[in-house]
């Protein structure tokens, strides 16, 4: 039933809470897990009152991309003994959109992700990546709630 399971990560321990359930489902279905993270340039660089040169912008962008890849490689190494094939992927852009685009283009069968547990004003202000993904995903989404 499931062949490719996508686990979006944002670098937080909370997001990493989705790994154990994803690996368990992958073991049961002999599926592959794809660890995915989006890289986003800090907004203050885009609207900075002090102009940022294209070369500096490119250096910062490359540094963020390198950090993203290192993080994903670390997560993959940490779970290499799980008995589950794991690969990594990353993209640059708005998290929900990139997750949805990747899931569609790669034929993902299941997305397993943590929710941040925001509610009320915080949810309205920051939005919910998990909610956007659940509403528009081309496949089932398993939302893992944070532990109290």
* pLDDT for res 117: 57
In Å, how far are 105, 107, 117, 120, 143 from 147, measured between CA atoms? Answer: 32, 30, 10, 19, 12
Residue 76 backbone dihedrals phi, psi, to 5 degrees: -65, -45
Range from 44-58, 83-97, 132-146 carrying the lowest mean pLDDT? 44-58
pLDDT at 51 over 80: no
Write down the H helix ranges in 17-140: 19-29, 43-46, 54-78, 95-106, 120-126, 129-136
Mean pLDDT of the chain: 86
The pTM of the full predicted model, rounded to 2 decimals, is 0.84
The domains found in the chain, sorted by start residue, are 4-144 (3.40.50.620)
Encode pLDDT of 8-47 as tens digits: 998 888 899 999 999 999 999 999 999 999 987 655 455 5
What is the distance between the alpha carbons of residues 70 and 83, in angstroms, rounded to a whole number? Answer: 22
Encode pLDDT of 101-132 as tens digits: 999 999 999 999 998 755 554 444 445 888 89
Which two tokens mark 112?
A: 């397993």
């Amino acid at each position: 039933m499931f062949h490719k399971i996508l686990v979006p990560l944002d670098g937080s321990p909370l997001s990493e809470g989705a790994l154990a359930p994803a690996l368990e489902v992958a073991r049961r279905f002999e599926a592959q897990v794809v660890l995915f993270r989006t890289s986003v340039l800090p907004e203050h660089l885009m609207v900075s009152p002090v102009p940022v040169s294209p070369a500096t912008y490119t250096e910062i962008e490359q540094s963020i991309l390198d950090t993203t890849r290192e993080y994903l490689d670390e997560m993959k190494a940490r779970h290499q003994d799980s008995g589950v094939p794991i690969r990594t992927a990353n993209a640059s852009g708005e998290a929900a959109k990139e997750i949805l685009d990747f899931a569609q283009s790669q034929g993902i069968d299941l997305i397993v992700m943590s929710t941040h547990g925001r509610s009320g004003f915080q949810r309205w202000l920051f939005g919910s990546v998990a909610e956007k993904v659940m509403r528009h995903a081309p496949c089932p989404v398993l939302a893992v709630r944070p532990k109290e």
